[in-house]
Copies of this chain bind each other. A is one copy, B any other.
Amino acid sequence: MLSKRDLLQASIAGLAATGLPIVNAEERGQDRAAAQGMSNVPPDWYGKEQMAFLIYPEFTALDMVGAYQMLTGLMGSTAHLIAKTKDPIVSDNGLTFVPSKTFDDCPKDLDILCVPGGASGTLAVMQDDSTLRFLKDRGSRARFVTSVCTGSLVLGAAGLLTGYKATSHWATVPLLPLFGANATKGRVVRDRNRVTAGGVTAGIDFGLSLVGQLRDRQYAECLQLMVEYAPEPPFDARNAGQGPTRSHKNDE
């Protein structure tokens, strides 16, 4: 186990020498460590994951960005922001993103396929044939099929959660059985290669936990330090859908 000071130094070295994000630029890759003389970085900290994040009109920006920020911390990985066309996509709070790839030119074999949620936009995309076809295809081969928030309903609509335990935004967990999924409460729910996260901010916990799985605990803790993930929620509404204080515990 690295000491906290080692983690700190590794993090500073990472920030100063590479910047985790820079490593993800498509034109750069696994030999970045060598190029930058980071000879003391364990070689197995560099991967080559291909990751695709679906976006669509009125998706919830933080669902995607929280997971994206953590998963692009995987040194050597390549992240793609996928939409039906390359036209800018407006999220449900007005943030406008430019996709990097379309359904057609998205890599065929993905390590991580991730679908963020939303509200009315998500309902629409759950009924969009070309989106569902894309998800069915990539999801059939992806190493990890994942979602944040109501993104799990989109995976469900694409038939990708049948027979799997899965979660969603707490308000929509009860809908999961409509898609053959085993509705499960939890911040991050794993069943074989399906990893579904709870609402919005749960994408951060999901992303960081998958980084830990794909690298190791020390690596994930370096990333955690870099993004200063030591949350201090200023209020205490708690998650209504889980935990010992949940309001509908007796309704189950």
Tell which of B62, B234, B242 touches A69, judged by Cβ atoms closer than 8 Å: B62
A161 to B205, CA, bound (A): 33
**A24: which B residues are within 8 A, CB to CB?**
93-94
Q: Is the CB–CB distance between B92 and A7 below 8 Å? A: no
Given A7-B237, A212-B235, A234-B205, does the pair A169, B98 have CB atoms closer than 8 Å?
no
Q: Is the CB–CB distance between A225 and B200 below 8 Å? A: no
Q: Is the CB–CB distance between A19 and B92 below 8 Å? A: yes
Given A96-B100, A98-B96, A205-B232, does the pair A225, B212 have CB atoms closer than 8 Å?
no
A129 proximal to B (CB < 8 A): no
Tell which of B11, B120, B212, B235 touches A208, judged by Cβ atoms closer than 8 Å: B235
A61 proximal to B (CB < 8 A): yes
**A95: which B residues are within 8 A, CB to CB?**
65, 68, 81, 97
A100 to B3, CA, bound (A): 45
* B-contact 0/1 string along A89-119, CB 8 Å cutoff: 0011111111010000000000000000001
The minimal Cβ–Cβ distance linking A82 to chain B, given in whole angstroms, is 13
**A241: which B residues are within 8 A, CB to CB?**
228
Stretch at the interface among A37-45, A136-144, A214-222: A214-222
Residues facing B in A228-246 (CB within 8 A) are 228-243, 245
A242 to B92, CA, bound (A): 34
A76 proximal to B (CB < 8 A): no
A5 to B248, CA, bound (A): 8
Q: Is the CB–CB distance between B230 and A239 below 8 Å? A: yes
A89 to B128, CA, bound (A): 29
**A62: which B residues are within 8 A, CB to CB?**
65-66, 69, 227
Report 26 cross-chain contacts, Cβ distance below 8 Å, ordered by A residue.
Answer: A3-B247, A4-B237, A7-B237, A7-B240, A19-B92, A19-B119, A19-B120, A21-B91, A21-B92, A24-B93, A60-B69, A62-B65, A62-B227, A65-B65, A68-B95, A79-B94, A97-B98, A169-B228, A187-B230, A199-B227, A200-B229, A205-B231, A205-B234, A212-B235, A217-B235, A225-B239
Q: A21-B93, A199-B228, A224-B233 are in contact. List 20 more A-B contacts (CB 8 A).
A: A4-B238, A19-B92, A20-B93, A21-B94, A25-B94, A26-B94, A62-B66, A65-B65, A96-B100, A97-B98, A149-B228, A200-B228, A200-B229, A201-B227, A201-B231, A204-B231, A209-B234, A212-B235, A217-B235, A222-B237
